[in-house]
Amino acid sequence: MYHLTQKYLNDLTYQIIGAAIDVLRNLARALEQVYESCLAYELKQRQFKVVSQQSVPIHYKGMMLEANLRYDLLVEDSILLELKAVEVLHPVFEAQLLTYMYLLEKPKGYYSIFIAPISLRKVRKLLLMIFSEHCQKIRRT
């Protein structure tokens, strides 16, 4: 059993980013479901436990409610991933991810944006920039 330390979560995040880059490197433009299957495969090849498309329960006033919410991927029961194959980021993506994290009580989550028309170099730069900003936020807390 592992301990959920910040170092563990950061190392896992780094591995997830590497797997996402591998998917981008090897896959042409595709639907979100295709990216999801390929990313799940890449993560499992790296020996990570990956669960996909599970229901997100809502506990409200002692009741279990169903709202037909499903997350895309959960890695090592720690990090939620919501995958998007879009050209424009929308604020609802962050709201969706934060809601899932809250309801599932997960410490970390990311939305992975697979944008086919831009170059792999730009995607790497974007992913590294996001990871760098994330690390800076951690250092401040």
How sure is the predictor about 1, in pLDDT bands with cuts at 50, 70 and 90?
very low
Could you tell me if residue 92 is inside a domain?
yes
What own/partner pairs with CB < 8 Å and gap ≥ 24 does 124-129 have? 124/21, 127/17, 127/20, 127/21, 128/17
State residue 26's pLDDT score. 83
Q: Reduced to 3 states, what is the DSSP secondary structure of residue 5?
A: coil
Number of domains into which the chain is organized: 1
Predicted structure pTM score = 0.75
Q: Give per-residue pLDDT as tens, 52-99.
A: 999 888 988 998 888 889 998 999 999 999 888 777 777 888 888 888
Could you tell me if residue 1 is inside a domain?
no
Could you tell me if residue 76 is inside a domain?
yes
- For 9-63, give the DSSP string: HHHHHHHHHHHHHHHHHH--S--HHHHHHHHHHHHHHTT--EEES-B--EEETTE
Could you tell me if residue 141 is inside a domain?
no
Residue type at 80?
A: L
CA–CA gap between residue 61 and residue 22 (Å, rounded): 43
Q: Give per-residue pLDDT as tens, 116-127.
A: 554 455 555 556
Q: What is the mean pLDDT of the chain?
A: 80
Which residue segment(s) compose the domain that 30 sits in?
A: 6-136
